[in-house]
Amino acid sequence: MSSFSELKARLLKPTPLLIILLIAAVAVARLLNLTTLDTMTIFMYFIAIAASLNLIMGFTGYVSFGHCVFLGIGAYIYALMVYYVPWANALQKTGGLGIIAVALIAAVIAALVAAAVGLAVLRLRGAFFAIATIGLDFAVLYIVMGTVPFINPEQFYGAQVILPSRCLVSKTSTFTAMFITMALVLATNYLVRKSRFGMGLVAINEDEDAAEVMGVPTAKYKTLAFTLSAFFTALAGAVFYLNGGGVSPEAFDLAHTVDMIVMIVIGGLGTVSGPIVGGIVYYWLYDTLLVHYPGVNLIILGIIVGLIILFAPEGVVGILRRYEFKGVKLREVLE
């Protein structure tokens, strides 16, 4: 235990830690060729959605395959709000914090949806839960496709909400908003991991029945984790599609969930550093493949993901944490 407390003490000394983080951030930015605000925003979006899904999938093992439904709900509510509600549009123009303030409303609505269906759907286990969330995603997708065009038949053709210039904000603002989103969800991951709540979630992942008998209120905890996860996914979705200038039914594409899952699987399930490591690797992979192999990039990505699932299901962090380094267990550092 001594190594752990030493390590904790070291990590809590703020100045050296901040310097290390800063150097790491610069190195990552150079490595990933994050030269514009836009690429940085997208990179942070990747980490944010991975860390969001990690809250339910990583900690409890429940694979919410239709999780992109919350991405879509967040993005659509945000876009419609700034389109129709003058004060929301005015608020988002004040900058990053203003965007977050409006996005919070969208995120709360997504979280309410998650809380309502979560109570019921989380009774299901394994593939049935995954399929139920896919069902939810498609149900919402087709409801959006069947209703949004009729809100404004001339503008929202094909259920696309393209934001006119009066609703757009600067790239600096979306960058700031995405940074706040990422920081919030990573902090939440960290706090959950270190808390009683997080211990309960991991116990659910290990053996739900045993956890319940040991006193973990499994139904409540699962629903709470699912709701938190939906909240941050919607927040990230709102900011990401604002950054892109509008939203289309593509936001409900299961491929977004796959992005999230792949990042967590690469990084390591249920760890705090997993989504970050996974985000860096995935963004690099995504960017490199896109630049060098346009057209076949997604084919290669699919194959790589398949190989990871077959041959390294624990992910990078999952493998690393089994090793000890100079007496410090990596397991304790990485989680």
Partner 1 sequence: MGLATFVISIVHGLLWGVVLGAVSAGLTLIWGVMKVVNVAHGEVALLGSYLIVGLYCALGLSPYIALIIALASGLAVGIAMYWGMLHKLVGKVEVMTLRVEMSTLLIMFAFSVAITNSYYYFIGSEPKGLGLWHFGPKSNINIGYLVIRTNSILACILAVALVAVLHLLLAKTTLGKAIRAVMQDAQAASLVGINPVKIKMQTTMISIAVTMLSGFLILLHETSIIPGTAALYTPLSFVIVVLGGLGNIMGSFVGGLIIGLVYGLSKAVIASVFNPLASAPLALSIAFIILVLTLLFKPEGLFGR
Partner 2 sequence: MPEAILTVENVTKRFGGLVALNKVNIDVYDGEILGLIGPNGAGKTTLFNVISGVYKPEGGKVYFEGVEITGKPAHQITRMGIARTHQIVKPFNDMTVLENTMIGVLFGRLAGKVSMSEAREKAMKVLELVGLDGKASELASKLTLHEKRILELARALAAEPKLLLLDEVLAGLNPKEIEESLKIIKETKEAKQLTVIMVEHVMHAVMNIADRIVVLHYGEKIAEGKPVEVANDIKVVEAYLGDRDLALKFVKVK
| Distance in Å, CB of 148 to partner 1, minimum | 10
Segment 311-330, which members bind partner 2 (CB under 8 A)? 329
Q: How far apart are CA 333 and CA 235, in angstroms?
A: 28
Q: State the nearest-atom distance from the C-beta of 91 to partner 1, in Å.
A: 32
The distance of closest approach from Cβ of residue 102 to partner 2 in the complex, given in angstroms and rounded to an integer, is 35
298 makes contact, choosing from partner 2, partner 1, none, with CB < 5 to 8 Å by partner type, with: partner 1
- By CB under 8 A, is residue 11 in contact with partner 2? no
| Contact partner, 195, from partner 2, partner 1, none, Cβ < 5-8 Å per class | partner 2
The least distance separating partner 1 from the CB of residue 100, rounded to whole angstroms, comes to 31
Nearer to partner 1, 3 or 297 (CB): 297
Q: In whole angstroms, what is the distance from residue 37 CA to residue 12 CA?
A: 30
Regarding beta strands 328-329 and 324-325, do their DSSP bridges make them parallel or antiparallel, or are they unpaired?
A: antiparallel
Range 206-225, binding partner 2 (CB under 8 A): 206-207, 209-219
Distance (Å, rounded) from C-alpha 121 to C-alpha 253?
Answer: 20
Helix/strand/coil for 313: coil
Say whether 13 sits in a helix, a strand or coil: coil
Length of the chain: 335
Instruction: Return the one option of partner 2, partner 1, none that residue 216 interacts with (CB less than 5 to 8 A, by type).
Output: partner 2
Q: Rg (Cα) of the chain, in Å, rounded?
A: 20
User: Would you report the helix, strand and coil content of the chain in percent, each value rounded to 5?
Assistant: 80, 0, 20
Say whether 216 sits in a helix, a strand or coil: coil
Task: Give whole-number Cα distances, 19 to 13, 175, 183, 278, 297, in Å.
Answer: 11, 22, 17, 22, 36
Cβ-contact 83, 245 below 8 angstroms: no
Residue 303 partner contact from partner 1, partner 2, none using kind-dependent CB cut-offs of 5 to 8 Å: partner 1
Buried b / exposed e over 162-195, threshold 16 CB at 10 Å, is: ebeeebbbeeebbbbbbbbbbebbbebbeebbee
**Interaction site with partner 1 (CB under 8 A):** 61, 63, 65, 117, 120-121, 123-128, 130-132, 134-136, 138-143, 145-147, 149-150, 254-255, 258, 261, 265, 295-296, 298-299, 301-303, 305-306, 309-310, 313
- What are the CA-CA distances from residue 182 to residues 235, 305, 310 (Å)? 10, 24, 30
Residue 302 interacts with partner 2 (CB under 8 A): yes or no: no
Per the CB < 8 A criterion, the answer to whether 66 and 137 are in contact is yes
Site string for partner 2, 181-200 (x = CB under 8 A): -------------xxx--xx
In angstroms, what is the minimal distance from the CB of 181 to partner 1? Answer: 26
Give least dist CB 183 to partner 1, A: 29
Residue recorded with tokens 């690099």: 284
Q: Give the nearest distance from C-beta 215 to partner 2 in angstroms.
A: 3
Tell me the three state secondary structure of residue 117: helix
Q: Which one of partner 1, partner 2, none is in contact with 94 (Cβ closer than 5 to 8 A by kind)?
A: none
Rule CB under 8 A: say whether 6 interacts with partner 2: no
Q: Which does 306 bind (CB under 5 to 8 A by kind): partner 2, partner 1, none?
A: partner 1
Binder of residue 126, out of partner 1, partner 2, none (CB less than 5 to 8 A by kind): partner 1
Give yes or no for a contact between 107 and 231, defined as CB atoms under 8 angstroms apart: yes
193 vs 256, beta carbon nearer partner 1? 256
Give the interface with partner 2 as residue ranges (CB under 8 A): 1, 194-196, 199-200, 202-203, 206-207, 209-219, 329
